[in-house]
Structure 1
Amino acid sequence: MDKKYRIQNAETIPSPSLVVYLPHVQYNIEHAIATVGGDVSKLRPHAKTHKTAEIIAMEREAGILKHKCATLREAEMLAQNGIEDILIAYQMVGPNVNRFVSLQLKYPDADFKVIVDHEESVTALASAAARLGLNVKVMLDLDVGMNRTGIPLGDAAVDVYAQIEAVDGLQPWGLHVYDGHIHDEDVADRKASCDKSLAQVEEMKDRLVSKGLDVPLIVMGGTPTFPIYAKTPGVEASPGTFVFHDHGYTTHFPDLGFAPAALLLSRVISIPTPRRITLDLGHKAIAADPDGVRGIVLNVDGAEVGKQHEEHWAINVPDSTPIHIGQEIYVCPTHICPCVALHPFYYVVDADGYCRGTWEVTARNRTL
């Protein structure tokens, strides 16, 4: 294991616990800024990975003043911590429509934006905004191939955008695109996939402009496609995972250059056979997403993960591996984002390798 991950006072941290290494977080923030050539106006990080006020403060101190988020609680956390440009990349439905407009009333200095992909959502949002005398900036969520949310390029998409312009209380504010279907490990292939998305965005923009509709903002992508959009004129890039990074992205996208900044500290609770150990790291502490290998053991050579349960994780180890009960085991998760949501707080480690306290995962819950 790289010695930079060794915690000098690990005996003070109970397990299983999430630990975050502040020097690596700082490096990732600086590397993201370098990726956009120092132009922080092109950078709109997603808060969904860390959900933490202190990380927002670190990004703000680095000059990053606008963010994207998925939940209303994340949006409120951003507003509470001095962020004035906030994009909620999630369509509001049901009670969340009124919760959103109430949030805008509560934080009048924050410039909120929200996405839609359906005429019914436009109608509901317009009704709520007009009732309170608000003007809400609304972006169209464009589906460029992921088929999760958004509306595909076409006449129906133009109609929804035109509807935003036509109703009282709403203001059309551009296009939002998430391209989580792009998994090309080869950089040239990934760029080619991004170019296909960009072509759809450009055609959509041209259609809207031809009808006299303004498109003030285009926000695209996540962490894997970040380097491509970072160099694309007229586009804001919105990576999220980069701030903590993880084993999955490090393995599949080594070109990104970010460093894992969050691990799970676990301990051996049983040694059922000479070649098998059990950790106190079940899927209540490390995310059950993705399927398959959910993390890798860093400090036991040749360890292979086995069956995982709610509070246990069986690990196969080579013969003659020196193991003792209570031994500290460091695990790098495959997908860090859902891991963070499992923990109400995490332990922070400084540049000297010492744990210096805890930071609350402020926006872990959804209540305002």
Structure 2
Amino acid sequence: MNSFHQVDTPSLLLDIGKLKSNINRMSGFAKDHGLKLRPHIKTHKSVKIAKLQLESGAVGITTAKIEEAIVMASEGIKDILIAYPISSPEKIKRVIELLNKGVDLKISVDSLEQIKLLQKELEATPHTLEVWIKVNSGLNRCGVEPGKAALKLAQAVLFLSHLRVGGIFTHAGHSYGAASKEKIEEIALAEASAVVESAEACEKAGIPILVRSVGSTPTYEISGKVEGITEVRPGNAVFFDAIQVGLGVAARADCALTVLSSVVGVYEDRIVLDAGSKTLCLDKGAHGLDSVKGYGYILGYPELKIDRLSEEHGVVVFDEKPTLKLNDKVRIIPNHACTVVNQFDEYTVVEGDRVVDTWKVDARGKRK
């Protein structure tokens, strides 16, 4: 098979040139500003891509769940932050299994009760677990409030023999709903301030904070420039998608990931594609974004809108009927690359029109 036009649909196409350019953009920014780079792999869930990021200068990776960390560690990736609160005994036992295998693991913490549970399970082991305090920078999801609350949690860790504070971090995910570049900048500066304020409070109390980490793709190139920040953790920036284009963070030409879909029906007022909600997902941005229209952008056909999805059908509407006919194929930039990748077993890797490889989505479906 030479051309992606011969690939069955729906399929996930990955442009290797754009992928490497995006990876270099992240690592170049980090190097230029004296920062460490710890990309979030929940976007791509691929060992191959994670290793390309490490080869480009990343110091380690970030995962959302323990199972993602297990997959990456099994392939030799050892420096891992799990940026998710872990407190159940079942999950802590799996954390201990990773520590037993020599993984340099860091865990997100944001409550006194959680750190006590971690300590209890670790007491029967020889391990001291590195924990990073998560602070809330406006997303209002997980995280303690910046400053005094972060200091209080750090002081509590000092009394626990099997934990040590390694860093303070945040995630400004609400930037995905920003209505302007000015709002993105405002969120980015608040993101950095939440981390720096918390780290400085700890250090004034004699608790060193070596890592001060920020992470949202729309904000990291702003918040990463703030004095006191030492690390960035972008995830979506490895691919970009229609949401990032809508935010002005990337151009469509930067989007490395597309869904290849076929026309399965042509009617007077609509065209139907074989990419439905089980392919494109019902995502227009987790935090709302007016600039995202429909359920993906069809390359080469700006007049078309993917208006509605059922499980296996994408219904496309138009003002003027296009020339597309039955079995024609189109490429769709997904609204949210992270969720779409999780629907596929593999990437079809392309260079121009030519298929050059297939890569597994190694950690797809990992929810624990």
- TM, length-normalised to structure 1: 0.90
2:278 paired residue number:
284
Distance 1:366 1:151 in 2: 26
- 1:147 CA displacement: 0.6
2:223 paired residue number:
229
Say if 1:280 and 1:308 are closer, same or farther in 2 by CA, change over 3 A: same
Distance 1:256 1:306 in 2: 22
The equivalences for 1:1-368 within 5 A come to 9-38=3-32, 41-94=35-88, 95-106=90-101, 108=102, 110-182=103-175, 183-184=177-178, 186-235=180-229, 236-254=231-249, 259-271=254-266, 273-290=267-284, 293-350=294-351, 352-366=352-366
Say if 1:100 and 1:11 are closer, same or farther in 2 by CA, change over 3 A: same
Say if 1:255 and 1:15 are closer, same or farther in 2 by CA, change over 3 A: closer
Structure 1 SS opposite 2:246: helix
Distance 2:364 2:242 in 1: 22
Which consecutive residues of structure 1, in runs of 5 or more, have no partner in the other structure? Answer: 1-6
2:215 alignment partner AA: G
- CA offsets 1:39-76 (integer angstroms, 9 cap, x no match): 67421111110010110121122222312111112212
Structure 2 SS opposite 1:326: coil
Contact (CA 8 Å) 1:305, 1:314: kept in 2 or not? yes
Contact (CA 8 Å) 1:56, 1:81: kept in 2 or not? no
1:359 alignment partner AA: W
RMSD: 2.3
Say if 1:75 and 1:40 are closer, same or farther in 2 by CA, change over 3 A: farther
Say if 1:299 and 1:163 are closer, same or farther in 2 by CA, change over 3 A: same
Say if 1:255 and 1:267 are closer, same or farther in 2 by CA, change over 3 A: closer
- CA offsets 1:232-267 (integer angstroms, 9 cap, x no match): 344211100010110110121246898100000000
Distance 1:299 1:17 in 2: 18
- CA offsets 1:325-358 (integer angstroms, 9 cap, x no match): 11101111111110001111121112x4211232
Distance 2:349 2:113 in 1: 44
2:237 alignment partner AA: F
Distance 1:82 1:187 in 2: 39
- TM, length-normalised to structure 2: 0.90
Structure 1 SS opposite 2:284: coil
Contact (CA 8 Å) 1:245, 1:258: kept in 2 or not? no
Structure 2 SS opposite 1:285: helix
- 1:316 CA displacement: 1.3
Which consecutive residues of structure 2, in runs of 5 or more, have no partner in the other structure? Answer: 286-292
Say if 1:186 and 1:290 are closer, same or farther in 2 by CA, change over 3 A: closer
Say if 1:254 and 1:60 are closer, same or farther in 2 by CA, change over 3 A: closer
